[in-house]
């Protein structure tokens, strides 16, 4: 993998023309991790005390239920577990057998009419992944488009951008508006689930209008077995981290649970002049009853980075220069970036009877960011000279989400139905301000340190935008012939309201208010128990444009853009291996100005083939990876010079392959290796600027043993082992990111 293991930080969102950063209060003297650890201890004590005082009442209620045999419905219990418990892992433990599919709930991979990949926490631990970017980048249809030492875990999935900008597009346990806005640390992640392709019906419209796929993270929740795990980790140059994972259950039936994950990591990174610090705490509480199930997740993250990195713009017409050493950091040593993020999610579901379950979610997130550093550098010439503008900025994002619905099961003759209805609402508010200084000159090969400029921090942080997304969704999965044939049909009505505000006067500068309906049709046919044939038609939804003031139709509001996907594929399980072969076509419209008229007459079409393989074909040998080919074309443009060209940032080929081998001569020793390949990517629509293809290799080992009776796992490895110099990715707005240098990591975990 090509990402640096330290906390990433830098400027936010797009280049200077659309940059923003946020107000952040002074950090508390008491670290986030310590405060949440204290809260976790208090909660654990409360839960244990409550469980003990409620034990007699619980036992009495349990005895009463035993006498009411007419209400003891085993089917209810089994269904409840299926809706709340995570699907087990596939052979090898790297991927899960199933995952959440938005409002459809948990479904096995072979019963899902989409291409999905569900990474387990075991994979994250064994790879020593620190943030979400390193996990998603393992998928051959996804690529990280942020930068090492940067702020955002942003990606391309099937050739379309996800999570670029300042509004998170990562779903948290199936809902938007809760996940931390810029980074998600793996210490509190149980699963990372990737749905490839649009998902408007399943998850609702993405807050930032992404349509290439959906990344859903499932947080760690209390386990059935008590856990106390302490981990120490190291990454070059001197990043040192300590984390703790505590899980307990209480009550006469162990129905109350608590889990806490805490992290502190800081030190010098592999980049010149850069230091970073991260403090993370996640507290999860749950109740698992026979009919009622509920959970509460609380997350707080604090990050501080000195000399945060930025991606590079390239001057028009200039061929992209050769990539410098990945250790070179053009950002000024006096620059810094800090962020504090808090997230909350409450979930509850109740089985009315054995055929009907009601559910609800409520939560939100708050992000405060402050930054004083230089903005996106522009590469000026073939010698690598750059120019950037320093700015002092504050930025704030507030988000909230709520939904409710029901799931019902019933039969109509030989056909079984699983019906889901959901009503949802999401809101966000963005405030930002920045003051800029004079341009700073440097060089990508030999960075030049400049004196710290005197740029004052903003005195006020005005609201610049606000959005509200509401929707109603209905879906039915019909199955017959012992579930060998499954047909899913659904429709979502989505309403979008968005306002932009003048930062000086506070007046509304533009407004958007429209709605659209998006359908879903998916089918799974199992001619054999271990083979699934599937096909789907699904749409993505993006906010329509407002014609600019320079257009003759200025102010015209266009309906939301509908991205259409058609996909067919086959999934097969054999010999401990799961393979998925998919062919897809995605067509995304957009608006453009032609002459004096703004119209929706631009279009991008991505079509391709994906092959994904995972499992343990031979005892002690595990494989994970695949290859993706994408034929991406600008099928409609307002210029013959760009018509038929390849879109910005979309490589023709992507491949990832990793292998693990449990050595026979040393029990507990596993050797690992991985190769990562990405084809050439264009930086501009004219296809005159590009970054070359690249390949990196990773190697590692882990050793599981017992020390004084305690299970202990040692892990070590090297990323980009041959220290390849390369441009790692191209974002949709034409910035290029430098690939990570050779990076060494080590860790040790002990279960007490």
Give tens-digit pLDDT for 221-267. 999 999 999 999 999 989 999 999 999 999 999 999 999 999 999 99
pLDDT of 126 strictly over 80: yes
Look at the block and give the residue holding tokens 């990474």: 119
pLDDT recorded at residue 43: 45
Shortest CA distance to 156 belongs to which of 168, 144, 138? 144
Q: What are phi and psi of 618, to 5 degrees?
A: -130, 140
In the structure encoding, which two tokens stand for residue 616, read together? 């343990």
The residues near 109 (Cβ < 8 Å, ≥ 6 apart) are: 97, 98, 99, 116, 118, 571, 578, 580
Task: For residues 378 and 319, give the distance between their C-alpha atoms in angstroms, rounded to a whole number.
Answer: 13
Q: Are 229 and 245 in contact (CB under 8 A)?
A: yes
- Residue 58 in this model has a pLDDT that exceeds 50: no
What is the separation, in whole angstroms, between the first and last Cα of the chain?
31
Q: Region 190-216: what's the mean pLDDT? A: 95
Evaluate whether 569 touches 115 at the Cβ level (below 8 Å).
yes
pLDDT above 60: residue 75:
no
Instruction: Return the higher-pLDDT residue of 53 and 427.
Output: 427
Mean pLDDT (the chain) is 88
Are 494 and 520 in contact by the 8 Å Cβ rule? The answer is: no
pLDDT band at 84; cut points 50, 70, 90: low
Identify the three-state secondary structure at position 447.
Answer: coil
Report the C-alpha gap between 226 and 643 in whole angstroms: 60
Question: Is 202 in a helix, a strand, or coil?
Answer: helix
Instruction: Annotate 11-27 with DSSP letters as a single string.
Output: --BSSGGGB-B---PPP
For 325-344, write each residue's pLDDT tens digit.
999 999 999 999 999 999 99
Task: Round to whole Å and give the CA distance between 373 and 335.
Answer: 4
pLDDT of residue 30: 40
Contact 653, 628 (CB under 8 A): yes
Tokens in use for 90? Answer: 């596939």
> What DSSP string describes 101-169?
-GGG-EEEGGG-SS-EEEEEHHHHHHTT--BHHHHHTTSTTEEE-S-TT-S---EEETTEEES-SSS--
CA distances (Å), origin 282, targets 59, 279, 469, 627 = 31, 11, 27, 35
Predicted local distance difference test score (pLDDT) of residue 73:
35
Secondary structure class of 78 (helix, strand, coil):
helix
Domains of the chain: 218-751 (2.40.170.20)
pLDDT for residue 1: 35
DSSP conformation class of 544 = P
Between CA 184 and CA 173 the distance in angstroms is 13
* Structure-block tokens of residue 562: 């509908």
Asked which of 19-33, 392-406, 595-609 is least confident by mean pLDDT, the reply is 19-33
pLDDT in tens, 467-499: 999 999 999 999 999 999 999 999 999 999 999
Distance CA 213, CA 102 (A): 12
- 152 with 162: CB under 8 angstroms? no
The pLDDT of 526-535, averaged and rounded, is 96
| C-alpha closest to that of 317 among 737, 642, 730, 690 | 690
DSSP character at residue 71:
G
pLDDT at 467: 94
Q: For residue 731, which phi and psi values (nearest 5 degrees)?
A: -80, 170
Tracing tokens 């043993």 back to the chain, one arrives at: 705
**140-174: per-residue pLDDT in tens?**
999 999 887 777 889 999 999 999 888 999 999 99
Q: DSSP letters along 291-322, please?
A: SEEEEEEEEEEEEEEES-B--BEE-TTPPPPP
Query: What pLDDT score was predicted for residue 288?
Result: 95
Give the integer Cα–Cα distance in Å for 407 and 402: 17
Alpha-carbon gap, residue 26 to 9, rounded angstroms:
17
- With 50 as the cut, is the pLDDT of residue 656 above it? yes
User: What's residue 29's pLDDT?
Assistant: 38
Q: What per-residue confidence (pLDDT) applies to 552?
A: 81
Q: 3-state SS of the chain: helix, strand, coil percent to 5? A: 10, 55, 35
């Amino acid at each position: 993998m090509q990402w640096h293991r330290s906390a990433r930080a830098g400027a936010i969102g797009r280049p200077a023309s659309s940059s923003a950063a946020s107000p952040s209060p002074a950090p508390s003297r008491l670290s986030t991790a310590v405060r949440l650890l204290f809260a976790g201890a208090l909660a654990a004590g409360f839960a244990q005390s409550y469980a003990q005082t409620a034990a007699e009442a619980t036992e009495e209620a349990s005895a009463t239920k035993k006498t009411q045999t007419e209400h003891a419905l085993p089917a209810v219990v089994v269904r409840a577990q299926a809706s709340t418990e995570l699907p087990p892992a596939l052979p090898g433990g790297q991927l899960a057998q199933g995952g959440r599919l938005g409002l459809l709930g948990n479904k096995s991979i072979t019963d899902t009419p989409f291409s999905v990949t569900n990474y387990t926490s075991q994979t994250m631990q064994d790879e020593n992944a620190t943030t979400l970017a390193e996990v998603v980048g393992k998928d051959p249809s996804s690529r990280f488009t942020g930068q090492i030492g940067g702020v955002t875990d942003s990606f391309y999935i099937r050739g379309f951008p996800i999570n670029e900008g300042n509004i998170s597009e990562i779903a948290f346990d199936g809902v938007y508006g809760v996940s931390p806005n810029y980074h998600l640390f793996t210490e509190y992640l149980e699963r990372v689930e990737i749905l490839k392709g649009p998902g408007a019906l399943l998850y609702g419209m993405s807050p930032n209008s992404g349509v290439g796929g959906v990344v859903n993270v499932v947080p760690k929740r209390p386990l059935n077995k008590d856990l106390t795990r302490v981990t120490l980790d190291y990454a070059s140059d001197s990043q040192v981290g300590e984390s703790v994972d505590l899980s307990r259950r209480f009550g006469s039936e162990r129905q109350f649970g608590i889990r806490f994950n805490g992290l502190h990591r800081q030190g010098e990174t592999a980049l010149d002049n850069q230091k970073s610090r991260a403090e993370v705490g996640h507290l999860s509480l749950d109740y698992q009853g026979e009919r009622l199930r509920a959970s509460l997740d609380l997350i707080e993250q604090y990050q501080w980075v000195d000399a945060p990195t930025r991606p590079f713009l390239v001057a028009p017409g200039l061929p992209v220069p050769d990539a410098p050493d990945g250790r070179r950091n053009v950002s000024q040593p006096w620059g810094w970036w800090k962020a504090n993020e808090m997230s909350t999610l409450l979930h509850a579901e109740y089985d009315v009877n054995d055929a009907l379950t009601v559910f609800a979610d409520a939560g939100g997130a708050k992000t405060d960011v402050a930054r004083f550093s230089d903005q996106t550098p522009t590469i000026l010439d073939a010698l690598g000279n750059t120019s950037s503008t320093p700015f002092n900025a504050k930025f704030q994002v507030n988000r909230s989400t709520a939904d409710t619905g029901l799931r019902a099961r019933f039969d109509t003759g030989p056909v079984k139905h699983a019906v889901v209805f959901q009503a949802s609402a999401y809101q966000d508010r963005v405030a930002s301000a920045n003051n800029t200084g004079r341009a700073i000159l440097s060089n990508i090969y030999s960075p030049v340190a400049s004196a710290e400029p005197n740029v004052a921090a903003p005195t006020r942080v005005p609201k610049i935008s606000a959005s509200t997304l509401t929707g109603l969704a209905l879906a039915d999965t019909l199955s017959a012939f012992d579930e060998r044939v499954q047909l899913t049909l659904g429709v979502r009505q989505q309403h979008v309201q968005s306002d932009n505000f003048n930062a000086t006067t506070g007046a509304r500068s533009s407004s958007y208010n429209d709605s659209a309906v998006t359908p879903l049709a998916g089918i799974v046919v199992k001619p054999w128990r271990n083979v699934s044939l599937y096909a789907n038609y699904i749409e993505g939804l993006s906010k329509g444009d407002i014609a600019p003031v320079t257009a003759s139709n200025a102010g015209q509001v266009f309906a939301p853009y509908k991205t259409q996907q058609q996909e067919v594929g086959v999934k097969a399980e054999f010999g401990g291996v799961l393979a998925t072969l998919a062919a897809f076509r995605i067509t995304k419209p957009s608006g453009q100005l032609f002459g004096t008229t703004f119209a929706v007459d631009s279009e991008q079409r991505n079509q391709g083939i994906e092959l994904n393989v995972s499992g343990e074909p031979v005892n002690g040998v595990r494989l994970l990876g695949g290859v993706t080919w994408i034929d991406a074309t600008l099928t409609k443009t307002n210029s013959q010079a760009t018509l038929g060209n390849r879109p910005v940032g979309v490589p023709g080929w992507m491949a990832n392959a990793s292998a693990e081998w449990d050595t026979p001569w040393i029990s507990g020793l596993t050797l690992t290796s991985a190769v990562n390949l990405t084809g050439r990517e264009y930086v501009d629509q004219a296809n005159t600027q590009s970054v070359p293809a690249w390949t990196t290799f990773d190697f590692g080992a882990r050793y599981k043993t017992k020390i004084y009776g305690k299970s202990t796992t040692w892990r070590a490895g090297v990323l980009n082992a041959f220290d390849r110099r390369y441009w790692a990715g191209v974002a949709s707005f034409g910035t290029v990111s430098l690939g990570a240098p050779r990076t060494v990591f080590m860790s040790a975990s002990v279960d007490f």
